[in-house]
Each structure stands twice: as structure tokens, then as C-alpha cells.
Structure 1
Amino acid sequence: MAGVIAGIARHGRAKGPMETIDRAEVSLDGGIAGDHRGVRKPGGYGRRQVTLIERIDWDAAMAEVARDLPWWERRANLLVEGFDLPQVPGTRLRIGADVMLEVTRDTEPCHRMEALAPGLFAALSPDWRGGACSRVLAGGTIVVGDIIRIETS
């Protein structure tokens, strides 16, 4: 089972604007280069270094609230297509040839989602629809169009 990275986004500071990019460096200590959430704090576990959301889940949430907002408004780092994100912490995901992420938990929606569209918080809440958080296990370069798959070995 494999999918594709359909989008990459980052934000340089808390509550700062999201920037969409076509290519990103990913590192153990910094997550996606230029994204403030990816920096692993001293003694921290990096449970939220990189966040991922499925396009199908974002589209379903948009349909539920009768809106058409771009996916990066979710404030996720990676948009995945054709891939069902595993809902099991500890699952390893390979992106491209080098990058390896470990799913740590679901990405719970925050109050900012409700400010975007009434009902969006509830639309993103069930069944990990808000996405998955992950930590970086192996860094490298990712680009839009890279394959994402569950690492089995």
C-alpha cells in the first residue's frame, strides 16, 4: 500500500502564515526545515515534528462544513493522497528513498479550526480525520510527488 505526497507546508513561527513548498529538507532535530513545530526541544521526544493529513479526510471535512478551504489551513505539514494513514502509534512511514517517520498520535483539531469554519473542529475530530503526528527517525529530502508507504522491515 503506497500513496503520494501531494503537498508540503510549513510555518516559521507559532500562529504564523503557512508557506507551501515543493521540496523540503527533513532532519532528526528540526523536522521540516523552516517549520517551528519540527524543532526537537532538549530532552523532548519530538512527537509532533511532522504532521500529515489525508486529502480524502480534508475533503470530507470541507464537505461537512460546506466550505472549500485549502488543505494547509489545517496547518499540517504533509498532504497525502491515495494512502490511508495508519492509526497505530509506532507505525513507521517511508517517504521517498531516505525519510522515515514514526506515527506518534492523532493530530487533534484546535480552536483555530472552528474560527476557519463553524463545525470544522467537530468535522476533524472523529477517526483521526485531523491527521497524524510523527517524529523523524531518518532525515533527507522530500519532494511533492514522493511515494509514502508503511515501512515493513
Structure 2
Amino acid sequence: METIDHVEVTLDGGLHGDFRGTIKPGGKGRRQVTLLERADWEAAMAEVGHSLPWFERRSNLLVEGVDLPQIAGTKLRIGDDVVLTITRETDPCERMEALAPGLKAALLPDWRGGACSRVLVGGIIRVGDSIRVEP
């Protein structure tokens, strides 16, 4: 994992440098970009009594100041250009349990593990960009 202050986002590749965002032939791109709310990660950490950095979750983007919609099809605008559509919940895997006992269960309620999305409009995302739910 690598933390960066900006990244290019494309329709067919997701976040530049993240192979998981590339849409495979016949694929739907439902997991091009994963988002995690800072408050949800901190709540899960408090629940299990740990203070691991957010990137251990292996999400692409850490967001704050917005309650991520828990409805597939909802659109998010990040910065001036990038538009994502929520596709599904990001299910916590066994790796979370290996990081901290109880973490997988702590990430299950209310989409605490984050949201998966597909890129509708590409562009550049920068740390500090606004995130808005689109009508």
C-alpha cells in the first residue's frame, strides 16, 4: 500500500497504479474504487481496542465529512471532475481478522467496511477535494 496526495482516475483503469481497478474483459467494474469513512474506521478500531492506520483496510480512498450512501447506484462527485457510482458494500475479509481479533465483525454493521464504486467520469483526485452526493 502507498499513500499519495493525488491520483489520476480513468474509466477503464480506476485509480492509476491500482491493478484491481482495471475492468477485465466481460467485467462490470464494480470494485474500481473503494472508499472508507474515517469515522467508521475509527469506530471499528475503538471497538477492537487497536489503532491501526486506515490503509491497513486496503481501501483506495479515506473520506471524511460525508456519510457514504449505502445504496447502489448513488453517485458521488469528488473534486470538480470525478464521478463515481456506488455499486455495493466492501465486504471485510479474513485479512482483517488477522490484523486484529474481532475486526472483521466490527466492520460488518452499516457498511463500516466501506463502499465499492465504479468510475463514471475520470479526472484527478487530490487530498482535500470535496465529496458530494449527486442527485
TM-score range normalised by the length of the shorter chain: over 0.9
Q: Percent same amino acid at aligned positions?
A: 73
Does residue 116 (structure 1) correspond to residue 99 (structure 2)? The answer is yes
Match of 2:24 among 41, 51, 60: 41
Instruction: Tell me what 1:58 maps to.
Output: 41
Letter in 1 for 2:43: A
SS of the counterpart of 1:93? strand
Letter in 2 for 1:29: D
**Alignment coverage as a number of residue pairs:** 135
Q: After TM superposition, which residue ranges in structure 1, 4 or more long, deviate above 4 angstroms?
A: none
CA distance in 1, matches of 2:112, 2:126: 24
Secondary structure of residue in 1 paired with 2:97:
helix
Q: 1:37, 1:60 → 2: CA distance?
A: 27
Secondary structure at 1:61's aligned position in 2?
helix
- Consecutive unaligned residues of structure 1, counting only runs of 5 or more, are 1-17
Coordinate RMSD, CA, aligned: 0.5
- Whether 2:112 is the aligned partner of 1:129: answer yes
- The AA in structure 2 aligned to 1:105 is R
TM-score by length of 1: 0.87
TM-score (structure 2 length as normaliser): 0.99
Which structure's residues are more often strand, by fraction?
Answer: 1
Q: Distance in 1 between matches of 2:48 and 2:108?
A: 13
1:93 aligns with 2:76: yes
Deviations 1:109-137 (A, max 9, x none): 00000000000000001110000000000
Give deviations 1:36-79, integer Å, cap 9, x for gaps.
Answer: 11000011110000000100000000000100000000000000
Letter in 1 for 2:92: P
Residue 51 of structure 2: aligned partner: 68
